[in-house]
Amino acid sequence: MPNAIRTPDAFAALGDPTRRLIFERVARGPSAVGALAAGLPVSRPAVSQHLRVLREAGLVAETPDGARRIYRLDPRGIAAMRDWLDNHWATALAAFERFVDELPEEDAS
Query: Which chain residues interact with DNA by CB under 7 A?
Result: 15-16, 18, 32-35, 41-53, 62, 66-69
User: Please, which residue, 29 or 108, has the CB nearer to DNA?
Assistant: 29
Smallest distance, Å, CB 78 to a copy of itself?
Answer: 5
The answer to whether 81 and 30 are in contact (CB under 8 A) is no
By a kind-dependent CB cut-off of 5 to 8 A, residue 14 interacts, out of DNA, a copy of itself, none, with a copy of itself
Strands annotated E in the chain: 60-65, 68-73
Q: Which of 54, 64, 39, 69 is nearest to 6 (CA)?
A: 54
